[in-house]
Amino acid sequence: NAGVTQTPKFQVLKTGQSMTLQCAQDMNHNSMYWYRQDPGMGLRLIYYSASEGTTDKGEVPNGYNVSRLNKREFSLRLESAAPSQTSVYFCASSELGVGGGYEQYFGPGTRLTVT
């Protein structure tokens, strides 16, 4: 099991360019998430997908769009990148655990720089 995979690992964009961050999980989880992590800000939820076919905004959705392509894949798109979107992006997935709790599994992250 690869768990949660993300591509690319690193990316440099110029202001105004677009790109899509890819995420896939092989744990058959229903829920998937996109976070950004900035120094001093902790993790902030951008969008999530509670189940296949649904997506919802998190805390900081402006400037982003998402697609839940199927149960395995959840992509994050930046239509017109801005320097404020320079960050580390994490994808995660979760499912109801044996004990009744929800454990999120995280990917390795994508380090994005917008110049």
Partner 1 sequence: LAKTTQPISMDSYEGQEVNITCSHNNIATNDYITWYQQFPSQGPRFIIQGYKTKVTNEVASLFIPADRKSSTLSLPRVSLSDTAVYYCLVGDFRNAGNNRKLIWGLGTSLAVNP
Binding site for partner 1 (CB under 8 A): 4, 31, 33, 40-45, 48, 50-51, 54, 56-59, 90, 92, 94, 96, 99, 101-109
CB of 16 to partner 1, least distance (A): 28
Tell me how far apart the alpha carbons of residues 31 and 44 are, in angstroms, rounded to a whole number: 16
Of the candidates 80, 58, 76, the residue with the CA atom closest to the CA atom of residue 68: 76
Q: Tell me whether residue 19 or residue 45 sits nearer to partner 1 (CB atom).
A: 45
> SS3 for 18?
coil
Q: How many CB atoms lie within 10 A of CB 93?
A: 26
CB of 90 to partner 1, least distance (A): 5
CB of 102 to partner 1, least distance (A): 4
- Positive or negative torsion for Cα 24, 29, 33, 38: negative
Q: Tell me whether residue 69 or residue 102 sits nearer to partner 1 (CB atom).
A: 102
